[in-house]
Structure 1
Amino acid sequence: MMINHTRILLPLSLIFFGVTSCSQKKLDNAFEGKIKRETIAFTTKVAGRILKIYVKEGDLVKRGDTLAMLNLPEVTAKVAQAHGVVKAASAQNTMADNGATQNQLKQIQAKYKATSEQFAFAQKSFRRASAMYADSMMAPQAYDEAFAKYQGAKAQLEATTAELNEAKKGPRFETKEAAKGQQQQAEGVLQEAEVAYSERYIIATNDMAVETITLHEGELATPGYAIFSGYIPSSTWFRFTVPESQISQIKKGLNVTVKVPYNQETFEGKVSIIKQMPKYADITTAYPDYKMDEAVYEIKVVPEDIKKSELLLFNAAVLLPRTAVTSK
């Protein structure tokens, strides 16, 4: 059987024309917008596996509530290492403050006594050698050997004397400062490790209505990845975009009436912000409703009844009738 395509295409074209006309008529009578809320997301600063999630989607959490706990074995190991470094640095600093121990002083004093005896013996031997050498009773080689032993014993005595004086006086100021600096550095490493370990708990920094939880228990959470996201309570507002040619109808502080099509409710509100959208949003092609090269502006309308607006569906369409704009 032959089908007359002309008879079918004609009604379809009429229907399309009618839909386009209705949409165009709605755009001519009102500015179209969306219901918005301020969003927030919580992430982790360190990588770890999720051990426990304490909230579920739809919950209203308060600032300071614990959202989840992570397992951080690498950070735990770093904390243990940092504790060991702090103990070692602290011991070095204490040793620098206290100086030599009693046993060390006894060892240095015994060493000083021994080198003093060696120097006294070398000095006597050199005097005898000098007298014999003056009487031509000693060869020059033997005299030089006696002189060298005398000089060596003298140098050892001077070194031991300086070591004993330093032990009695205590370590230098620079040595104490270096030991103190090493201890402070070790304590900083420990503090850094402990801060990282405290990140095993994901804490809410703001009140939030949890909308999405992207990970489950046992999954790996990476730094910067949003695990919990949702809306800040009492932050509902209406967003409209208006072309440059029509922005003169709207002023900041203007009281307007916004209509919500899906439930046929109306809301009184006030225009709080008018700002130009980024350059890429400008109209640069031929549209039937906008002129060429028109800037596009974002309009923020804050509802007066915040509690009532909290019941609205996020991102649903809203209308700002032009009569409501021009009449107020």
Structure 2
Amino acid sequence: MKKIIIVPFILLALVAAAVYYSQQQSVQQSDSLTLYGNVDIREIQLSVNASEHIAEVYVEEGDRVKKGQLLARLHTELLEAQLAEAQAKFLAQQQTLAKLKAGSRKEEIARARAEVAATKAEAKMARDSARRLQKLLPKKQASEDDVESALAKADAAKARAEAAEQSLALVIAGPRIEDIAIADAQLQAAKAQVALARQRLDDARLYAPADGVIRNRILDPGDMVFPQSAILTLALLDPVWVRAYVPETALGKIASGFKAGIMSDSFPGKQYEGWVGYISPTAEFTPKNVQTPELRTRLVYSIRVYACNSQNELRLGMPVTVTIPLQQSPGGADTHGCP
């Protein structure tokens, strides 16, 4: 009885081994590799780096947009006023620096010379008056208080004349180098404020970062927007690539640059040209959303297969079948052009 029970298990094991061997042989002898994957969904959530109410949204869902195209803008009245203020301060500081670099005008120097001459004349007159009083002191025709007062006035006049001469020297020398450097630094700060105000004004406008199609219009004019809130969703259509998974047993049969054919159920019989653009260096388990004849628990490697999609028939997320001929040289280019 034990022999009768063991025989069926042996037969089943032999059949399973034969099937496995047959599958491995078919994979080894096949001249192409068939994989299953999906067109990668590549979308961008578009927002602005500002907090304000939306003024206008210029696109609708389904619109094709070009890189750099204006898509929406916020209310910018406050930002425009801030820019005007920064520009006015910049112009004022620019004139201050120009005034310092120009130095003293000839009229200012002439006035300083005249002040020197006037103070010297006053000093001479005060000195002469004090000397006359000193001569009258022995004759008792002038008091000591009058003489002392006259001498003090002469000394004060002399000091004013010396101060006027120093002022003339400063006017001729012009502003200090340090003052010019400070004014120049203040001008650069004012220039930076203008650039900052312009950047904030530009941040209130939403531009397309790449060519694509507007998939979703999330907010409308009047809505309050913040930097973390999206206004539009942009679907990227170029380049289009398929995310597929290669079993470890077939990894050594393909290389970057291999040509590939891509087919979808939406267009039966039509094959799109493509090429292998990237092979992941890290193994992973097969994603559950990929239909593959291999066991889902088997380790696979993610690959990116670029597709020629000139008529935009391959849509994002679409399931496709990828066929890679194995009789290719691995030393080709990493990318290929589409016809």
TM-score where L is the length of structure 1: 0.68
* Superposition pairs of residues 273-312 of structure 1, within 5 angstroms: 273-277=278-282, 282=284, 289-290=296-297, 296-303=300-307, 305-308=308-311, 310-312=312-314
Task: Show the counterpart of 1:6.
Answer: none
Aligned partners of 2:243, 2:139: CA distance in 1, in Å? 118
Does the Cα contact within 8 Å between 1:37 and 1:235 map onto a contact in 2? Answer: no
Distance 1:127 1:252, change over 3 A: same
Aligned partners of 1:275, 1:67: CA distance in 2, in Å? 36
1:318 to 316, 320, 326: 320
Aligned partners of 2:157, 2:204: CA distance in 1, in Å? 65
* Superposition pairs of residues 1-328 of structure 1, within 5 angstroms: 31-36=35-40, 38-40=42-44, 42-96=46-100, 97=102, 99=104, 102=107, 108=112, 111-112=115-116, 114-128=118-132, 147-167=151-171, 169=172, 171-172=174-175, 174=177, 175-176=179-180, 178-223=182-227, 225-261=229-265, 264=268, 266-277=271-282, 282=284, 289-290=296-297, 296-303=300-307, 305-308=308-311, 310-320=312-322
The 3-state SS of whatever aligns with 2:310 is: helix
* Residues 276-300 of structure 1 deviation map (CA, whole Å, 9 limit, x = unaligned): 25xxx745xxx96546xx5x52211
Aligned partners of 2:142, 2:247: CA distance in 1, in Å? 117
Give the C-alpha shift of residue 226 in structure 1: 4.1
Give the C-alpha shift of residue 218 in structure 1: 1.2
Does the Cα contact within 8 Å between 2:281 and 2:301 map onto a contact in 1? Answer: yes
Distance 1:225 1:144, change over 3 A: farther
Aligned partners of 1:264, 1:177: CA distance in 2, in Å? 75
Give the C-alpha shift of residue 260 in structure 1: 2.6
Give the C-alpha shift of residue 71 in structure 1: 0.9
The 3-state SS of whatever aligns with 1:307 is: coil
RMSD between superposed Cα atoms in Å = 4.1
Q: Which amino acid in structure 1 is aligned with residue 241 of structure 2?
A: W
Does the Cα contact within 8 Å between 2:39 and 2:242 map onto a contact in 1? Answer: yes
Does the Cα contact within 8 Å between 1:47 and 1:72 map onto a contact in 2? Answer: no
Distance 1:255 1:100, change over 3 A: closer
Aligned partners of 1:119, 1:170: CA distance in 2, in Å? 25
* Residues 167-212 of structure 1 deviation map (CA, whole Å, 9 limit, x = unaligned): 4x36236245554554454344324323432444323343221112
Paired residues in the alignment total 287
Does the Cα contact within 8 Å between 1:53 and 1:67 map onto a contact in 2? Answer: yes
* Residues 102-134 of structure 1 deviation map (CA, whole Å, 9 limit, x = unaligned): 5x6686566545533432233234445666789
Distance 1:320 1:207, change over 3 A: closer
Q: Which amino acid in structure 1 is aligned with residue 243 of structure 2?
A: R
Q: Which amino acid in structure 1 is aligned with residue 317 of structure 2?
A: N
Give the C-alpha shift of residue 35 in structure 1: 0.8
Aligned partners of 1:224, 1:242: CA distance in 2, in Å? 37
Q: Which amino acid in structure 2 is aligned with residue 313 of structure 1?
A: R
Give the C-alpha shift of residue 155 in structure 1: 1.8
Q: Which amino acid in structure 2 is aligned with residue 83 of structure 1?
A: Q
Q: Which amino acid in structure 2 is aligned with residue 32 of structure 1?
A: Y
Q: Which 10-residue stretch deviates more, 177-186 or 217-226?
A: 177-186
Identity of matched residues, %: 22
Aligned partners of 2:241, 2:263: CA distance in 1, in Å? 13
Aligned partners of 1:105, 1:229: CA distance in 2, in Å? 68
The 3-state SS of whatever aligns with 1:46 is: coil
Aligned partners of 2:77, 2:104: CA distance in 1, in Å? 40
Distance 1:249 1:226, change over 3 A: farther
Normalized per residue, the structure richer in helix is 1
Does the Cα contact within 8 Å between 1:123 and 1:150 map onto a contact in 2? Answer: yes
Distance 1:93 1:252, change over 3 A: closer
Give the C-alpha shift of residue 59 in structure 1: 0.6
The 3-state SS of whatever aligns with 2:242 is: strand
Aligned partners of 2:248, 2:132: CA distance in 1, in Å? 115
TM-score where L is the length of structure 2: 0.66
- Runs (5+) with no aligned partner, structure 2: 1-22, 28-32, 286-293, 329-339
